[in-house]
């Protein structure tokens, strides 16, 4: 099933050789925007097909389902001549190719960029690696590993405990988003020149860029940031606090909000105290400020404070679990859940966060069974059509 012609990427075919998370996340975003994404799998299938539990109502692994909607699946055994030939035909018919094998793997199967671009110069070829194609080419690109060596774990967690990974494979997701940006930019250039190019993204570079203020601080001061729990290195009060019945977050971003907070708490003199009157002073005297605020906050419930701060225009909220977060987004009218129906099957999905007023994202296909769309009726014999 092809996308509607008014979809942003209608007419763009993507040969998706990637698996697990970063690459499939990128190709799913392209598919949501209307691209025709063909997922090329080994006979064993994408690794995440076996990453269960949990499973959805149909028994499909929720991990695989989270990044593989709107795609068709075929199986190509690259080690068999007929499988390699079919994969090559598909690659040469594509506008975009995405792969996240170790550097050199695609070249061994005559699927490298130089060889394909010689026959299909309009091809946009995106390679996703862990540590680039130079001295780090041999290193395995696992999200946890990159969180460790890339510095994210060093700034995550309680300062008195061990370094902690993020609760999701955040580096893979960020890298997938970078891949989409690079692919879209390359397609834009191709629109004007007719020539594609190679797009390269890697996990480590994506993480360093995503560390933003933390990596900038280390680069420009020579001092690496440390773990601060839920506190912020440059803003206060901007962390979790303890109400009578549990934790919640206050995210004060400026002096005016701080003045409103102290007034609400009956602590107005604190906002003009020289130790706390400016943000830099509040950061410097964070522990003293925290003790003062916690003493008052502990007298009421989370719900009381969140409601009162909402009225006062003070950013605050409860620490939701994931289910509560989905429900909260629904309450706000954000439409966080989409249900896809396809050939008698349904799949509940978290909606694509990109909202386009004229050409919205589309949800057409449930995450495919392995090899579900095998067949040559849609695959050209050779070349780009």
Catalytic site residues? 172
Instruction: Give the burial class of 270: count Cβ atoms within 10 A of its Cβ; 0-12 exposed, 13-18 middle, 19 or more buried.
Output: buried
One-letter-per-residue 3-state SS of 42-91: CCCCCHHHHCCCCECCCCCEHHHHCCCCCEEEEECCCCCHHHHHHHHHHH
CA distance 73 to 40: 6
- Give the number of other Cβ atoms within 10 Å of residue 141's Cβ: 22
The angle formed by the CA atoms of residues 112, 113 and 119, to the nearest 5 degrees, is 100
CB count, 10 Å around CB of 116? 21
Q: Which residues of 272-294 are buried (b: 16+ CB within 10 A; e: fewer)?
A: ebeebeebeebbebbeebbebbe
How many CB atoms are closer than 10 A to CB 173?
19
Beta carbons within 8 Å of 203's beta carbon, 6+ residues apart:
22, 128, 129, 130, 131, 141, 143, 146, 150, 171, 172, 175
């Amino acid at each position: 099933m092809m996308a509607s012609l008014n979809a942003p990427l209608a007419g763009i075919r993507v040969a998706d050789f990637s698996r697990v998370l970063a690459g499939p996340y990128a190709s799913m975003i392209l598919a949501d925007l209307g691209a025709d994404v063909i997922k090329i799998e080994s006979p064993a299938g994408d690794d995440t097909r076996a990453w269960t539990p949990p499973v959805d109502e149909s028994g499909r692994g929720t991990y695989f389902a989270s990044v593989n909607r709107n795609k068709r699946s075929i199986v190509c055994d690259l080690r068999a001549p007929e499988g390699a030939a079919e994969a090559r035909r598909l690659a040469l018919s594509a506008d975009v190719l995405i792969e996240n094998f170790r550097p050199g793997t695609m070249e061994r199967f005559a699927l490298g960029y130089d060889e394909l671009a010689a026959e299909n110069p309009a091809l946009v070829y995106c390679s996703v690696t862990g540590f680039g194609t130079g001295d780090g080419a041999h290193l395995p690109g696992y999200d946890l590993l990159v969180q460790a060596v890339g510095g994210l774990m060093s700034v995550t967690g309680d300062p008195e405990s061990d370094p902690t990974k993020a609760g999701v494979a955040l580096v893979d997701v960020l890298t997938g988003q970078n891949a989409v940006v690079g692919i879209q930019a390359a397609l834009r250039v191709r629109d004007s020149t007719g020539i594609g190019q190679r797009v390269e993204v890697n996990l480590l570079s994506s993480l360093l860029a995503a560390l933003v203020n933390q990596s900038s601080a280390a680069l420009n001061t020579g001092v690496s940031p440390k773990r601060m729990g839920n506190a912020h290195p440059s803003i206060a009060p901007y962390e979790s606090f303890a109400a009578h019945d549990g934790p919640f977050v206050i995210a004060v971003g400026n002096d005016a909000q701080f003045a409103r907070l102290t007034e609400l708490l009956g602590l107005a003199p604190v906002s003009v105290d020289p130790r706390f009157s400016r943000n830099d002073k509040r950061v410097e005297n964070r522990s003293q400020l925290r003790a003062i605020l916690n003493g008052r906050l502990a007298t009421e419930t989370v719900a009381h404070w969140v409601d009162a701060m909402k009225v006062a225009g003070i950013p605050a909220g409860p620490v939701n679990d994931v289910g509560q977060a989905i429900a909260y987004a629904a309450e706000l009218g954000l439409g966080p859940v989409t249900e896809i129906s396809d050939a008698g099957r349904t799949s509940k999905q978290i909606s694509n966060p990109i909202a386009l007023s004229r050409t919205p994202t589309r949800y057409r296909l449930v995450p495919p069974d392995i090899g579900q769309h095998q067949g040559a009726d849609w695959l050209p014999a050779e070349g780009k059509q």
